Structure formats: C-alpha cells, structure tokens
Amino acid sequence: MIASGLDPAQLTIVARVNGRERQNFPVSDMIFSAYELVSRLSHDMTLEPGDVISCGTSLGPLPMRPGAHVEIEIAGIGILSNRFVAEPGQAG
C-alpha cells in the first residue's frame, strides 16, 4: 500500500537499532525538502511507486555491528525493518 494524503513536512522519522532509539527528527529539519528531493531525482531517473529514497542521516546513529536489527519508522506510513549484515569477505 502506498501512503497518500500526507504532508511530508509534518512527518517525523524515528530510527531504532536493536530496539534502542537512535534518532528522532522532523522531516522539516532536512536540508532539502521531500518535494525538492523527488523533483531533483525525477529529472535524472523514473521514480516508480514503492521506490525508496535514502538520503543519509544526521548525528547519533553510532556504529552498527552485523546482526543488528534496524527499524525506520514514519508515523502514518509504517516501519521498514532490516537486519544489518557484513558484506561478503568483511569481518564481523
């Protein structure tokens, strides 16, 4: 399902690693607005429903170890949950 009817400038992003909150910030604090990011990217590529735009992080994430459970939550949209793994050939 694709969330619609939301004002990106009113959203908050929460990042958790192994259940511990590491970041909690309003989208309105980003250097470029969500609208500007989508506009700039769409000049160079076709964006499809379900595409994820990853645009970095602010202070506070701290190092992660392989096996860490990472969650990114945006209220009104949902939670993206993944396990952090080392690249093949990298030490854990």
* Average pLDDT taken over every residue of the chain: 86
Whether 70 contacts 79, CB under 8 Å:
no
**pTM (two decimals):** 0.74
Mean pLDDT over 70-86 rounds to 91
Taking Cα atoms as reference points, which of 22, 17, 23 lies closest to residue 70?
17
Q: What is the pLDDT of residue 18?
A: 94
Taking Cα atoms as reference points, which of 18, 12, 28 lies closest to residue 73?
12
Which CATH superfamily does the domain covering 8-83 fall into?
Fumarylacetoacetase-like, C-terminal domain (3.90.850.10)
Q: 19-35 burial, b for 16+ CB within 10 Å, e for fewer? A: eeebbeeebeebeeebe
CA distances from 66 to 22, 23, 62, 63 (A): 17, 19, 13, 10
